[in-house]
Amino acid sequence: MSLLTGLQFARTAFCHSQKMLLQIRSFSTSKPRLSSNTDVPIELEYIRFDPPTQVSLNNTRQIAPIVILHGFLGSKQNNRTIARRFAKELETTVYALDLRNHGDSPHVKTHDYMSLALDVEHFIETQVKKPSVVLGHSMGAKTAMAISLRRPELVDSMIAVDNAPIDASLGSDIPKYVRALRTIERMSLRNTKDAFEVLGKYEPNPEIRQFLLTNTKFNSDGTIGFRVPLDILARALDHIAEFPFNSARERYVGPALFVRGTRSHYVPDEAIPTIGRFFPNFVLKDIDAGHWVISERTQEFVEIVEDFLKIDGP
């Protein structure tokens, strides 16, 4: 079913010179470092997923490479499943990134959408080297929007999952999760079972607790710590809630898909006119889910994205 009747997408030709099996390759790009320079991008860690077969030269449906951006306290590991599926089913290369201060990427004092976008723009220019489909969830969604508005020439199409281009106070859950992880860090716990029980005082959903604990690491003394710099992220909460752009000056006129969870508060109906001002060629799709749309309704989400990207196909 067509999502945007009559809209012609600019698709970047992409093919492989030889048949290959689906590959997953992790690249270590730099050692963690701490910097306050907001004008210099950092090298992001990522996993690359290649399509399983050569793309036919006669195939007119050649999807641009896809760059997937996780949300706050997430990592590239959260998106392995959908990245693998997109690579196979859309026959294109997919990159799952660790944004700054997350996963295996470097820790940096500045954490706002301008710096997050700068890093990903640098990644597209130096690693992908062609316009890309930029897909992000939550914090990653606003980062994808920022890239589209700042550097539209790098973006083939933009997909935002459960976030909107508005200044909005964060739901009480995110600051609460940061407080919970900082509490665990101070408790000098020695096993994740105890950390899981402590998180139960803050979050009843065991799946969300397991997600938060994907950030754990063991310190040299055997106590539990975290791979993310909690102090930096705690100070960045206000920046993560904002959207520092003006629709009177900045617009992305390429294809844009917004997917929202109907049981989430991140994309209220009141935000839809603002979405249209920033992204005039947008489509909005609703999924019966909370904020964790991708994990709650994976199959439905994948089908919506694939329909959107295949619209120019035969």
Q: 40: which DSSP letter? A: S
Chunked in runs of 10, what are the mean pLDDT values of the chain (314 residues)?
Answer: 34 31 31 51 97 60 92 96 96 97 96 98 97 97 98 98 89 86 94 94 92 93 94 94 94 97 94 97 97 95 96 51
Q: Residue 55: its pLDDT value, please?
A: 56
Give burial (CB, 10 Å; 0-12/13-18/19+) of 18. Answer: exposed
CB 82, CB 301: distance < 8 Å:
yes
Backbone angles phi, psi at 220, to 5 degrees: -65, -25
CB 240, CB 166: distance < 8 Å:
no
Q: 209: which DSSP letter? A: H
Q: Residue 15: its pLDDT value, please?
A: 32
- Please name every residue paired with 47 in a beta bridge, in sequence order, or none if there are none: 26, 96
- Quote the CA–CA distance of 252 and 158 in Å, as a whole number: 9
Q: 125: which DSSP letter? A: I
The distance from CA 271 to its chain's CA centroid, rounded to whole angstroms, is 20
Alpha carbon distance, N-terminus to C-terminus of the chain: 12
Active site residues: 138, 291
188: left (phi over 0), alpha (psi -120 to 50) or beta: left
Backbone angles phi, psi at 27, to 5 degrees: -115, 125
Backbone angles phi, psi at 26, to 5 degrees: -100, 130
- Show the tokens assigned to 145: 């929007």
Residue 68, helix vs strand vs coil: strand
User: 């539990």: which residue's tokens?
Assistant: 224
